[in-house]
Amino acid sequence: MITTGTVSAAKVIAEVCANVVRGNDVLVIVDHSRFQIGQAFVEANRLIGASAALVMIESEWNRLPNTLAKALQEAHVVFIATEKSLTHTRAVQIAKALGSRIISMPGISQEILERCGEVDYERLNRITHDLAEKVTKANNLRITSDLGTDFLTPIRGKALAQTGLCPRKVFKSRGETMWRGCLQNIPSGEVAVVPRGYECGGTIVFDGTVGSIGKLQNPVILKADKGRVISIEGKTEAEMLRTIIQKADKNANCVAEVGVGTNDKVLLSGNILEDEKKLGTAHIALGDNVNLGGTIASDIHIDGIIMSPTILLDETPIVEKGKSMFKDM
């Protein structure tokens, strides 16, 4: 059963994050377990005055059939709420290139969706972009924690800001701001950067959530050298992560991304796409970083959360023992 809170949150995301306006054609794609979330988005778009169609797919699909791919291309806005991410599928990438505005919400629940509706996205946008500018200007990023994390990387290139708001391209037709060809994840709120491969290393202690594993009961300790993880220690969760990497390709152990959460509405839920956005946390990913502008191609991209870190840009702290130094700047 959909609640008014779920519909209200969906309406915030539709209006604020996707800029849905009256007369837009909207496509909502869900799997079986998120049918009610799909209904909430259909109702939210109806309230705005848009025309919305709901399509339910099998949760194990990792590609979309041609008929659905064509529908993505013709929609002004697409909302995707499935267990597995469809962001990297050919159908989504082509629709994005042709101008569809896409909101991707892999693994989302009604509880997470309702928290997303409480976010001040304009403020989140400002904070996240300000931090991204600081990260871009820095030479080095260092993360430490009381559990033993001490990781250092030179920073390569422009930091990416994930804010929930698409980059604005203003079109004067009807006086509205249309954000064509953008894709955002919800929940939002992170600054991510590609580490400088062979020059990064140190000790990484995950103690929050790890993608494909969930919320940790025991810390997972990784040693990285020259851009690759060379050992993983710990209990059950460490063995699970080792197995995932060993079964994947040769680049699965590469350090692919370093990120900082900027969203103060996030709770540690065990869903990595929410947890990595939590204000006052750091996350480090292994595997693929091509979609971040990097050069490492892999079949996997697994993030791990470091709780209560200290994060330094050169010698300046931006997070100190989990307390954000940039929250109110």
pLDDT of 177 > 50? The answer is no
Lowest mean pLDDT among 160-174, 184-198, 218-232, 273-287: 160-174
Q: How many residues does the chain have?
A: 329
| pLDDT (tens digit per residue) in 203-254 | 999 999 999 999 999 999 999 999 999 999 999 999 999 999 999 999 999 9
Higher confidence at residue 226 or residue 170?
Answer: 226
Model pLDDT, residue 290: 85
Span 144-169, average pLDDT? 81
| pLDDT (tens digit per residue) in 103-130 | 999 999 999 999 998 999 988 988 998 9
pTM, rounded to two decimals: 0.89
Model pLDDT, residue 175: 24
Query: How many Å apart are CA 88 and CA 104, to the nearest integer?
Result: 11
Question: Helices 90-97 and 66-74, interaxial angle, to 10°?
Answer: 20
List the domains of the chain with CATH numbers: 4-116 (3.40.1830.10), 121-171+183-324 (no CATH)
Model pLDDT, residue 197: 80
Model pLDDT, residue 176: 32
For 240, counting Cβ atoms within 10 Å of its Cβ (0-12 exposed, 13-18 middle, 19+ buried), the class is middle
**Where do runs of H (alpha helix) occur along the chain?**
4-12, 35-48, 66-74, 90-97, 110-116, 121-137, 236-247, 272-275
Span 45-63, average pLDDT? 91
Q: Which of 183, 129, 188 is nearest to 291 (CA)?
A: 183
pLDDT of 295 > 50? The answer is yes
Query: How many Å apart are CA 172 and CA 240, to the nearest integer?
Result: 52
**What's the mean per-residue pLDDT of the chain?**
91
- The answer for residues whose C-beta is within 8 angstroms of residue 255's C-beta and 6 or more apart is 153, 195, 197, 200, 201, 224, 227, 228, 229, 284, 285, 286
pLDDT of 140 > 60? The answer is yes
pLDDT of 78 > 60? The answer is yes
Model pLDDT, residue 166: 63
Span 174-186, average pLDDT? 66
Model pLDDT, residue 156: 67
DSSP 41-88: HHHHHHHHT-EEEEEEE-TT-SS--HHHHHHHHH-SEEEEE-SS--TT
How would you label 282-291 residue by residue, b for 16+ Cβ within 10 Å and e otherwise?
bbbbbbbbee
pLDDT interval class at 277 (50, 70, 90): very high
Model pLDDT, residue 104: 93
